[in-house]
Structure 1
Amino acid sequence: MLHLLVADGNDRAGRETHLSVCDKTSAETYAGILRALAPDAHCHLVAPADANMVLPRALPECDALVLTGSTLHVEEGGPAVTRQCELMRAALEAGLPVFGSCWGVQVAATIAGGRAGRNPKGPEFGLARAISRTQAGAGHPLLDGRPPAWDAPAIHDDAVIEPPPGARILAGNDRLDVQAIEIRLGEGVFWGTQYHPELDLDEVAAMLRLSAQGVVEAGLCPDAPSLQAYADSLRDLHHDPEGRPDLAWRLGVTAEVLVPERRRREIGNFLDRLVRPRAARR
């Protein structure tokens, strides 16, 4: 059995808000996907932003750590951020494979000596478009199975602005240089994506509604009703992906986003290429 530590990047308020619009927390979303990809996995859900968080299992006895997205900002600091940075550092120094999307990437880059902050090119809301491998990403196992260019769910203002020394930048697009990254610290290896391979389109829609003001201010939608209509289309496409080719065409959503197995490639690659080999050795 695999023992996977799934850390929710949100503080208590962020978890409650996410739960209210998605009917599950970010950690619960990840746990469901991890169990689907690895039926032998036991997921231990934790909330490291909380002061009273206690690990249910010692780090050396875990096979991996996964850190979810978050509404927090690394640059703002504070105990909720510091506690998550400490967990990330401890996990990597203990030799664990670590995966993170969005917030997880920003935390990993920060503790390894990089910098995360507001993306000077602006936010990505809904989908990150035309992601492609860098030279360092060509042949990297995190991106196995991805085509030469792909889209992926994305919701972020912040990003890795300065990668840490020695990091391998694996993929980027015209909005952001760091869409996928490998970071090594101690005996541990971090693989992560700024985009969200874990999110279904109905969750993207729900998160867009929460971010409506930011989407409008970024000039991506003229007003809140337009954003609501776009979110409704994403939701409807999620519920009937084969029956609504009109929506897929209008929204520019391809199979790399629509098909769960393809959308979640990076998570599956992480399990197959890093977690299982280490678990077998352990």
Structure 2
Amino acid sequence: MRIAVLMTNTDESDFSARWPKDGEKFPAMIRKVRPDWRFEVYSVKDGVFPADLAGLDGVLITGSPHSVNSGAAWVTRLFELIHEIYAAGLPMFGACFGHQAIAKALGGDVGPNPAGWVFGLVEKRFADGSVLPLYASHSEQVTELPEGAEVVAAGPDCNVAGFVIGGEIMTTQYHPEMEPAFIAALVEHLAEELPQEVTERARASLVNEADMIAMAERIALFLERKSA
């Protein structure tokens, strides 16, 4: 399998420089369950986009602190590419910013979460009744679904924690690529910027860990066009 990773994370801080980029995190996550897959990383936030879609088996769109509502030129180009990927029938997975970008590009909408920040470990509750612990870090979320989308999961203060469109699109509002050490460091890094109660709640949630393997398997099955 040959997968394109569209890297959208705009954080170029000293903190970010101490950790692997999302273009490394997402392949590392998937390789835990599909070690032989190949990945091509495109830093779309820097204006680097695939020349074409030929030879690709699927697409992953990463998270970012950037807002899908910014109007930035690279975001507009990403929306256009999302349309192209969808029209080509390639399976496309989006996480956090990627989830929101797919929704926005295809006619949905994204806005502030009325409850504020969702941060730390949360339970993603699937429509089939299963529950999966994942890391969250968002203050915006999908407020209106694109045409044909079906909500498949919800979470704390987030009614659209994931949606699908046929067999072509699968998303999550959360961060399956984050490792426990990274989210713990991120909570402390943002402690002075976020309300104290948000930080304290996030710290308390980290007594348990996300199930990266289970979510990676779901994503891999989707990209293989099998049941996820």
Partner Cα separation in structure 1 for residue 82 and residue 134 of structure 2: 25
Q: Please show how residues 17-166 of structure 1 align to structure 2 within 5 Å.
A: 19-22=16-19, 24-51=20-47, 53-55=48-50, 58-128=52-122, 130-133=123-126, 137-138=127-128, 148-166=130-148
Partner Cα separation in structure 2 for residue 65 and residue 55 of structure 1: 11
* Aligned residue in 2 for 1:176: 158
* Aligned residue in 1 for 2:195: 216
Whichever residue aligns with residue 111 of structure 1, its letter is: A
Q: Please show how residues 187-206 of structure 1 align to structure 2 within 5 Å.
A: 189-206=168-185
Please state how far the C-alpha of 1:153 moved relative to its aligned partner: 0.5
Per-residue CA deviations over 1:3-42 (Å, capped at 9, x if unaligned) read 110111124xx256564142x1111100112223212211
Task: List, as ranges, runs of 4+ consecutive aligned residues in structure 1 with deviation greater than 6 Å.
Answer: none
Please state how far the C-alpha of 1:195 moved relative to its aligned partner: 1.1
The answer on whether the counterparts of 1:109 and 1:183 sit within 8 Å (CA) in structure 2 is: no
Q: Which protein has the larger Cα radius of gyration, Structure 1 or Structure 2?
A: 1
Shift of the 209–77 alpha-carbon distance from structure 1 to 2, 3 Å rule, reads farther
TM-score when scaled to structure 2? 0.87
* Aligned residue in 1 for 2:217: 268
Whichever residue aligns with residue 220 of structure 2, its letter is: L
SS in structure 2 of the partner of residue 177 of structure 1? strand
SS in structure 1 of the partner of residue 9 of structure 2? coil
* Aligned residue in 2 for 1:6: 5
Aligned residues: 226
Kindly indicate which of the two structures has a greater share of residues assigned to strand: 2
Shift of the 269–45 alpha-carbon distance from structure 1 to 2, 3 Å rule, reads same
Per-residue CA deviations over 1:239-266 (Å, capped at 9, x if unaligned) read xxxxxxxxxxx646446x2xxxx33323
Whichever residue aligns with residue 214 of structure 2, its letter is: R
SS in structure 2 of the partner of residue 61 of structure 1? coil
The answer on whether the counterparts of 1:99 and 1:191 sit within 8 Å (CA) in structure 2 is: yes
Consecutive unaligned residues of structure 2, counting only runs of 5 or more, are none
TM-score when scaled to structure 1? 0.72
Partner Cα separation in structure 1 for residue 25 and residue 68 of structure 2: 22
Partner Cα separation in structure 1 for residue 14 and residue 60 of structure 2: 21
The answer on whether the counterparts of 1:18 and 1:26 sit within 8 Å (CA) in structure 2 is: no
Per-residue CA deviations over 1:158-201 (Å, capped at 9, x if unaligned) read 111112222111111341101111135xxx71111111112111
Kindly indicate which of the two structures has a greater share of residues assigned to helix: 1
Consecutive unaligned residues of structure 1, counting only runs of 5 or more, are 139-146, 231-249
The answer on whether the counterparts of 2:15 and 2:189 sit within 8 Å (CA) in structure 1 is: no
Identity of aligned residues (%): 26
Q: What is the Cα-based RMSD across aligned positions, in Å?
A: 2.5
Please state how far the C-alpha of 1:86 moved relative to its aligned partner: 2.0
Partner Cα separation in structure 2 for residue 115 and residue 17 of structure 1: 32
